[in-house]
């Protein structure tokens, strides 16, 4: 059943009054996947606009992702973006909060056309959804039933979509897809988006920090913060500060390094380093004695004698 006409014919026959079969949402998703293989974006749009409404079935988020994927696969079709816009309209009328992944696919399809008027039309079409997403970031989702972790994820995804919008505007101007006299308009829209993304990102980061402190992110005990602090200490060299303060002898440092290696199962290596340390220490003692006999005052007790080993 790789031929769209055959699949559509069976679908129409089974859902007609003669058989009166009512497809559920899984049937719709399966039909959309079949249409995706055949790059039938027009049929996917009609399936959502007409058949889904007629069946009275409540769609899922994945339903619109698959449908938009049909249009993305059919990107060479000059009407693919029109069909994607119909799918976008169907999503707006059926679910309270728009799906960000579906919006990303829609915008990517518009940019793929490399047509200035089509990209501009897509950006203008997304204006109402952008205001909806702003409200989601500022006040949370419409249903208000998400956990703090899920809400943080939803805000982060919305911010990523805003950055994609900024990238689409940059593409318009970089490729010269809009007249030069319109650049001031697009610069203003771009500036508005970037300012909002900057402010919302700071707010999201503060929310993430609070969740980490409360043990709701990471390992449940603020693990992200501990790992971050340990990394900073290591990179700044503070991890070895204790070894430098306690002893400047090379044998002590060698044993300290050997203890680390022991955790990896390198017992022979550790024992070799210990023997080497004892040998170095004995050599130092011999030099100390010979130096004192020669009457070189202060050299034997100098850190330069032992600190390098």
Segment 256-297, tens digit of pLDDT:
444 444 444 445 544 555 555 555 555 555 555 554 444 434
Place of tokens 């430098």: 244
123 Cβ contact partners less than 8 Å away, ≥ 6 residues apart: 110, 165, 168, 169
Name the token pair of 205: 């980061």
- pLDDT > 90: percent of the chain: 42
Kindly report the average pLDDT of the chain as a whole number: 76
Of 132 and 102, the one with more pLDDT: 102
Rounded mean pLDDT of 10-30?
86
- Residue 122, pLDDT > 60, answer yes
**Per-residue confidence (pLDDT) for residue 59, from 0 to 100:** 93
- Residue 88, pLDDT > 60, answer yes
- Residue 126, pLDDT > 90, answer yes
Lowest-pLDDT range of 11-15, 60-64, 263-267, 298-302: 298-302
Name the token pair of 223: 């693990």
* pLDDT level of residue 237 (50, 70, 90 thresholds): very low
Lowest-pLDDT range of 63-67, 107-111, 202-206, 275-279: 275-279
Rounded mean pLDDT of 89-99?
90
**Per-residue confidence (pLDDT) for residue 142, from 0 to 100:** 64
Which one, of 85, 163, 108, lies nearest residue 130 by Cα? 163
Lowest-pLDDT range of 103-107, 116-120, 138-142: 138-142
Name the token pair of 270: 């550790």
Rounded mean pLDDT of 119-125?
96
CA distance 248 to 81: 71
- Residue 163, pLDDT > 80, answer yes
Other Cβ atoms less than 10 A from the Cβ of 249: the count is 18
**Per-residue confidence (pLDDT) for residue 206, from 0 to 100:** 85
CA distances from 99 to 62, 65, 103, 133, 239 (A): 9, 8, 6, 10, 46
Q: In this predicted model, what pLDDT tens digit does every residue of 200-221 receive, in sequence order?
A: 888 888 878 888 877 767 644 4
Mean pLDDT is highest, among 9-18, 142-151, 245-254, for: 9-18
- Residue 53, pLDDT > 90, answer no
């Amino acid at each position: 059943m790789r031929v769209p006409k055959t699949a559509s014919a069976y679908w129409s026959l089974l859902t007609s009054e003669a058989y009166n079969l009512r497809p559920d949402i899984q049937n719709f998703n399966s039909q959309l996947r079949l249409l995706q293989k055949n790059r039938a974006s027009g049929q996917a749009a009609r399936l959502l606009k007409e058949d889904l409404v007629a069946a009275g079935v409540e769609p899922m988020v994945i339903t619109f992702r698959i449908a938009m994927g049909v249009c993305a696969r059919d990107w060479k079709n000059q009407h693919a973006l029109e069909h994607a816009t119909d799918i976008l309209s169907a999503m707006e009328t059926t679910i309270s909060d728009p799906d960000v992944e579906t919006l990303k696919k829609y915008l990517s399809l518009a940019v793929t056309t490399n047509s200035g008027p089509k990209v501009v039309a897509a950006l203008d079409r997304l204006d109402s959804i952008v205001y909806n997403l702003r409200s989601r970031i500022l006040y949370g989702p419409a249903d208000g039933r998400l956990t703090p972790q899920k809400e943080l994820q939803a805000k982060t995804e919305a911010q990523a979509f805003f950055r994609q919008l900024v990238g689409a505007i940059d593409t318009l101007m970089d490729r010269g897809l809009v007249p030069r006299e319109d650049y001031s308009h697009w610069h203003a829209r771009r500036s508005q988006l970037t300012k909002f993304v900057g402010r919302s990102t700071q707010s999201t980061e503060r929310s993430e920090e609070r969740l980490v402190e409360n043990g709701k992110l990471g390992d449940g005990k603020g693990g992200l913060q501990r790992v971050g602090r340990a990394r900073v200490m290591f990179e700044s060299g503070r991890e070895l500060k204790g070894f430098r303060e306690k002893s400047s002898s090379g044998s002590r440092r060698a044993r300290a390094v050997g203890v680390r290696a022991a955790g990896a199962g390198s017992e022979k290596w550790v024992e070799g380093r210990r023997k080497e340390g004892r040998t170095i220490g004995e050599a130092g003692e011999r030099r100390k004695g010979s130096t004192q006999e020669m009457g070189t005052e202060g050299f034997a007790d100098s850190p330069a004698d032992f600190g390098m080993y």
